[in-house]
Every structure is written in C-alpha cells, then in structure tokens.
A and B are shown apart, each in its own frame.
Chain A
C-alpha cells in the first residue's frame, strides 16, 4: 500500500510532463490524457482510503520513504510521504474536486487553442498540491508550496495576451513570495530549534522548546498561511486572480490551493498549542479576514470577484477555527471540505453563466437567468443554500460548529470572536442572496456587447453540468454525512486531537442565533435587490460601498505604505550608486589614467633621453658613494 502513495503524485506529474513537453501531437487528445491521469490519482486515493478505513484508528498513518534528498552531515532532507487521516482528507478533496474540474474544463476550454497547455498546468497543480499535503517534512512541503504557487501563477496568467491577466498573475506571485519568506524562515527556525524539520520529531518535541521560539515559528507560519490563503494583510491578490479561467478559480482559488494555509496551521497544531500569542494572532487574522472578505463580497458587481470575496471570508472562518486550537482544528478542516464542494460548485456555476452570456461577468447585466439555465440555477442554488448555512445543508453543519467553537474559546475573547463569526454569517447571507437575486431572478437586463452581439443564454454542455451536479450533491449531503455520529470528528481526532470547550451559550442557542442573523441577512438583500428593480449601472453608493468596491482600499494601502517607500528607497539607492559608488570608482580610474598619461611621457623613444638617465643615475650613485666615504 505504501508504494501507492508515490503514484498519487506521480500520475498527475506524468500528465504535466507529457502535456507540456509533448508538443502539438497531443493537441487533439491531450485534455483526455490529463483528465484520465487526474481520475487515476483519484482512484488510487480512493483505494488508499478504503485500505485506511480497514485498519485500527491509531494505526492508520502510512509512511513511504522514497529517497534521501540532501544528506549532509547532521542535515538530512528526505523525500518521504506520510499519509494520515488529515492528508487523506486533502487527497480525496484535491483529486476528487480536481477530477471534476478537469472534466468541466473539457467543455469550458473547448474553443481555446491552448487547451493542451491548460490541462498540463492543471495536472502540474494537482501534483504540487498532493506533494504539499503528503510531505512528511516541512522542506518537502515547501517544495509543494512553491509548486502550487507556480501553477497558480501560470494559470492566472493563462490568457496572458490580456494585460490585466498578466498583471494579476505577477501580483499573485509577488504577494505569495512575501508569505513564502515566512515559511522559509519558519523552517530555518525549526532546524535551529529542533535540529530537524520532519513533522514527527518537530511536533512531538514542540513542548520542549521555549515559548518565545515557538511563538516566532508560529508567527512565521501564520505569515506563510496569510500569503497562500489570501488573509489580511496579504489578501490583495485573490480578487485579481479571478482573471484566470473560471475552472482555475474554482479549483485553485476556492477549493484547494488557498486552503493550504489552513492545512499548514492545522498540521503544525502542536506548535501553536504551545504558543498562545501566536494563536491569538491567528484568530485575529481569521476574524478580521472573515469580515473583510464578506464586506468586499457585498459590493462587487463582478460575479467572480463577489465569490472571491466570499472565499476570502470563508477561509477566514477556517483560519479562525484553526487558531482556536484543539477546539477548532477538526471544524476548520470540516468547513474546508464542505467549502471545497459548495464554493467549487458556485464557481463552476458562475463559469456556466459566463459561458452562456458571452463571458459577461457583471451581475447587473444578468437577471432572470433561471428560466434559461435550469441546471445551473438549481446547482448554484444548492451551493448558495449550503454556503449561507441553510439548515441541513453542508455549510450549516460546518459553519455552525465554528461559531460554537469561537464562543467556546471563553472569556471576552470568545464573545468577540463569536460575535465576529455571527456577524460574518449575516453578511454571508446578504451577499450570497444578492448574487443569487441579481443573477437568476428579476427582469432580464442583458444588453448587446460592443460588437452588437446579443447574448443568447443557454444551458452548458453535459461535460460542464455533470461536475456541477456532483458538486451540488456534495454541497447538500457532505456536511450531514460528516456530522452523522460525529464521523468526521472521530476520523480526524487521532491526528489533530480535539477538546470540547466550555461554551457560555448552549449549542441550540448558537444555532438559533445563526438562523436569526441568516434571516436578517437574506431579508435585507431581498428588500434591496428582490423587491425593487435593479439599475443596470451601479449607483454611487455610500462611502463604505465605494471603499468596498475598491477592495476596502487594500491596493491604495499597499501602494502608499509599501510601494511608494520602496520606490523612494530604490531611487535613493540609485542616486547613491550613481554619485557615491560610481564616483569613487570613476575617480580612481581617472586619476590612475591621468598619472599613467604623465608617466608615459618619460618614454619618448629618443636614445639620448635614456642615456641621460643612465649617466644621471651613475653620477648620483658615485656622488652617494663618495659622500658616504667622506662621512
């Protein structure tokens, strides 16, 4: 069984290699090859899952040592995989949703002439992401971490002929680098503290290290998570990342890659459990982001950017839960999985709508689409109900648990976090209802584009609707299945450990409270967008609305605080380089040149000049000798 783990990564990696190096010969069938290898990876994952279920719960982790990567003295880096319950959850999510999105892309990218390359990148992403979650040490995790960053960059900028896509790709890459610096520093700190960076020794010895060091490692890991998972303050890239093709947004920027930060924090739980200050930082980031993303999501008219704000906010929930410690790890991962289903479904739905509407993304130009796209409408609707936490659907089970866990943190902190999570739930209900109403209800508001093409909304082909239907099933039933007999809790507990906090509010009170804020959110959205006709150009809006449309001024903030000082610094450095460094170098060169020019004059080629110096020299020597003798 251990040998199969390597194959999980190898299958999509082979696909990427073949598709990217295979050239035009594979143009015709390349997408099928890519999809088949993604499915193969999923099948291997399923086999391993069945095998894992057959074993005792404390004996489930598999370990597979491939080879020693860098053995230098005391330093040892191995390429070794570890498949425990946590990794297994991710493997199934990544390969499952990944395969569905491969299938969807067959239809979505049908008319794109670079489709083979697209599938190559998707396979590359799958391989890197699987490496990330299967690694048994932080260094190999880092390799996967950078790999998904590369795949994300390539896919955001897939339509690189659009300047906006090329810029967005660069932005995502650069912002992610900031986070990656955090991860590399964390790994170095681990090595100096523990002498190794394999999961098992680091995490089991975490209690031996001083709290200061653990806090430092924790904060650096949090920085890494902020970059990859688009959390405040490194959130600015996610909205622009929507320039990529929609299946990419669904797979990478909603379901899998952006949740890598949650994985990292949950995996490093032993470090955070012993560093309360780092945990406080994590919950703060989570709470701030869940509100930040939700507010941004309310103001966007671009359907994908509204969903991107929502993704940011939902990952905020996960980070918040992960920061709560053993009370929250399981629920963070549970929300991650259910979110993977419904958010991927929502994005695929948005892609389907765009497919039918000539790639229009402005929701104010949709309206009344439920009659034209019944399948998209139903699957999107189920995803919508799941994300707002409609009772019985996936989001209800996972989000409710997180809100409960936030209250269970206890003390003032618990009230603040719980309050933020509840407020976030209300805003989620509001903005998702808004998306739903603008897109599928009301009057049709679409207009011909610049070339005068009237959009003819139509249902998408089967290859696109089937993945949406499968994901809709997941959105509806996953949460319920996970919560049946606390199945998910029992599954993950051996890895992440779990403790029930002491909530000041009973579970029923929290659920009731969530329902109330949910209804309030839906009602406000209905009053604003359901009852009244929607103007097809956005009204000016309040100060907050205008700020939220500009992503709460995140780019302006970055520009003023980071870019401008950076520019001044580089300008200053150029000045110093020009005047000081170049001045010294050029000055030395000029004086040496001048001196040698003068020295050169001594050599004039006339024999008598040399003779004079010879006679002169001899005369001086003789004079000196005589003088010495006289003295």
Chain B
C-alpha cells in the first residue's frame, strides 16, 4: 500500500482536530481535539520514518506520546479545578477580559 495515503489520513485527522479546537467550546472536547492533532502528527512521523527507512520519526513519536501523557495530566487537572470554581467547562466563560 502506498504510504502517502497514511499522510493524507494524518492531514485529515489534523484538520478535524484543528477545526474542533477552533469551533468547540467545551474544554474536554477541545482537549480531545488537541490529542487528535497530536496523534495525527505521530502518524505522519511514523509514515515518514517508514518512507525514509530510518527510525528517527518513530523515536520522535514516542517523545510526543510521553509529552502528550504529561500534558493530559496537567491539562485535566486545570480543567477540573476550573470546573469546580466556575461550574462550567466552557472555555469562553473563563475569559475575564473587559471588552
């Protein structure tokens, strides 16, 4: 199978994630969209690794997973505490700017 198709899939997934980040207001959904984008990147890395015949991309994909795991821990903690304070998971409600 042509590895370029994996790249198309990765681009599609990234676009879906990005659109989700821009459009949705719920912090959890936002968070999941960010994960989607990260995994799209991982997919692209692994595909490139395969195409170029070396392991660099796979190693970076592992790094990304580690960072993403750490991010999930911190991010969820923030979301939970914001929800406790404001009784809302909407990111728009978190804005304190005067307009």
Contact residues, B13-35 vs A (CB, 8 A)? 18, 21-23, 30
Stretch at the interface among A17-25, A167-175, A324-332, A602-610: A602-610
Q: Enumerate chain A interface residues (CB-CB to B < 8 A).
A: 601, 603-608, 611-612, 615
Q: A603-B97, A605-B95, A605-B99 are in contact. List 5 more A-B contacts (CB 8 A).
A: A601-B99, A607-B30, A608-B21, A611-B22, A615-B22
| Contact A608–B91 (Cβ < 8 Å) | yes
Residue B70 at the chain A interface, CB threshold 8 Å = no
Enumerate chain B residues within 8 angstroms of A607, measured Cβ to Cβ.
30, 91, 94
| Contact A604–B21 (Cβ < 8 Å) | no
| Contact B21–A611 (Cβ < 8 Å) | yes
Enumerate chain A residues within 8 angstroms of B94, measured Cβ to Cβ.
605, 607
| Contact A605–B22 (Cβ < 8 Å) | no
| Contact A608–B99 (Cβ < 8 Å) | no
Could you tell me the distance between the alpha carbons of A604 and B92 in the complex, rounded to whole angstroms?
10
| Contact A606–B22 (Cβ < 8 Å) | no
Residue B96 at the chain A interface, CB threshold 8 Å = yes
Could you tell me the distance between the alpha carbons of A65 and B22 in the complex, rounded to whole angstroms?
89
Enumerate chain B residues within 8 angstroms of A603, measured Cβ to Cβ.
97
Q: Would you call the interface of chain B mostly helix, strand, loop, or mixed?
A: helix
| Contact B96–A612 (Cβ < 8 Å) | no
| Contact B97–A612 (Cβ < 8 Å) | no
Could you tell me the distance between the alpha carbons of A604 and B95 in the complex, rounded to whole angstroms?
8
Q: Enumerate chain B interface residues (CB-CB to A < 8 A).
A: 18, 21-23, 30, 91-92, 94-97, 99
Could you tell me the distance between the alpha carbons of A100 and B60 in the complex, rounded to whole angstroms?
109
Could you tell me the distance between the alpha carbons of A608 and B99 in the complex, rounded to whole angstroms?
16
Name which residue of chain A comes closest to B21, CB basis: A611
Could you tell me the distance between the alpha carbons of A190 and B95 in the complex, rounded to whole angstroms?
74
Name which residue of chain A comes closest to B96, CB basis: A605
Q: Separation in Å of the B92 CB from the closest CB of chain A?
A: 6
Could you tell me the distance between the alpha carbons of A611 and B95 in the complex, rounded to whole angstroms?
14
Number of A-B contacts (CB under 8 A): 25
Could you tell me the distance between the alpha carbons of A608 and B92 in the complex, rounded to whole angstroms?
9
| Contact A606–B21 (Cβ < 8 Å) | no
Could you tell me the distance between the alpha carbons of A608 and B33 in the complex, rounded to whole angstroms?
12
Neighbour of A604 across the interface among B23, B30, B99, CB < 8 A? B99
25 A-B pairs within 8 Å (CB atoms) are namely A601-B99, A603-B97, A604-B95, A604-B97, A604-B99, A605-B94, A605-B95, A605-B96, A605-B97, A605-B99, A606-B91, A606-B92, A606-B95, A607-B30, A607-B91, A607-B94, A608-B21, A608-B22, A608-B23, A608-B91, A611-B21, A611-B22, A612-B22, A615-B18, A615-B22
Could you tell me the distance between the alpha carbons of A165 and B96 in the complex, rounded to whole angstroms?
67
Enumerate chain B residues within 8 angstroms of A606, measured Cβ to Cβ.
91-92, 95
Could you tell me the distance between the alpha carbons of A611 and B24 in the complex, rounded to whole angstroms?
12
Q: Separation in Å of the A593 CB from the closest CB of chain B?
A: 16
Enumerate chain A residues within 8 angstroms of B22, measured Cβ to Cβ.
608, 611-612, 615
Could you tell me the distance between the alpha carbons of A603 and B99 in the complex, rounded to whole angstroms?
9
Q: Ordered nearest first, which 3 A-B pairs have the shortest CB separation?
A: A605-B95, A605-B97, A607-B91
Enumerate chain B residues within 8 angstroms of A605, measured Cβ to Cβ.
94-97, 99
Name which residue of chain A comes closest to B91, CB basis: A607
Q: Separation in Å of the A597 CB from the closest CB of chain B?
A: 11
Name which residue of chain A comes closest to B34, CB basis: A611
Interface centre among A601, A603, A605 (most CB of B within 10 A): A605
Could you tell me the distance between the alpha carbons of A601 and B97 in the complex, rounded to whole angstroms?
10
Enumerate chain B residues within 8 angstroms of A608, measured Cβ to Cβ.
21-23, 91
Could you tell me the distance between the alpha carbons of A601 and B22 in the complex, rounded to whole angstroms?
19
Q: Separation in Å of the B52 CB from the closest CB of chain A?
A: 18
Q: Separation in Å of the A389 CB from the closest CB of chain B?
A: 91
Could you tell me the distance between the alpha carbons of A606 and B95 in the complex, rounded to whole angstroms?
6
Could you tell me the distance between the alpha carbons of A607 and B22 in the complex, rounded to whole angstroms?
8
Name which residue of chain B comes closest to A601, CB basis: B99
Enumerate chain B residues within 8 angstroms of A601, measured Cβ to Cβ.
99
Q: Separation in Å of the A616 CB from the closest CB of chain B?
A: 10
Could you tell me the distance between the alpha carbons of A511 and B26 in the complex, rounded to whole angstroms?
119
Could you tell me the distance between the alpha carbons of A605 and B99 in the complex, rounded to whole angstroms?
9
Could you tell me the distance between the alpha carbons of A603 and B96 in the complex, rounded to whole angstroms?
11
Q: Separation in Å of the A374 CB from the closest CB of chain B?
A: 93
Name which residue of chain B comes closest to A605, CB basis: B95
Enumerate chain B residues within 8 angstroms of A612, measured Cβ to Cβ.
22
Could you tell me the distance between the alpha carbons of A607 and B97 in the complex, rounded to whole angstroms?
12
Enumerate chain A residues within 8 angstroms of B95, measured Cβ to Cβ.
604-606
Enumerate chain A residues within 8 angstroms of B30, measured Cβ to Cβ.
607
Could you tell me the distance between the alpha carbons of A180 and B21 in the complex, rounded to whole angstroms?
80
Enumerate chain A residues within 8 angstroms of B23, measured Cβ to Cβ.
608
Name which residue of chain B comes closest to A615, CB basis: B18
Could you tell me the distance between the alpha carbons of A606 and B91 in the complex, rounded to whole angstroms?
7
Enumerate chain A residues within 8 angstroms of B97, measured Cβ to Cβ.
603-605
Enumerate chain A residues within 8 angstroms of B18, measured Cβ to Cβ.
615
Q: Separation in Å of the A404 CB from the closest CB of chain B?
A: 93
Name which residue of chain B comes closest to A608, CB basis: B22
Could you tell me the distance between the alpha carbons of A612 and B96 in the complex, rounded to whole angstroms?
19
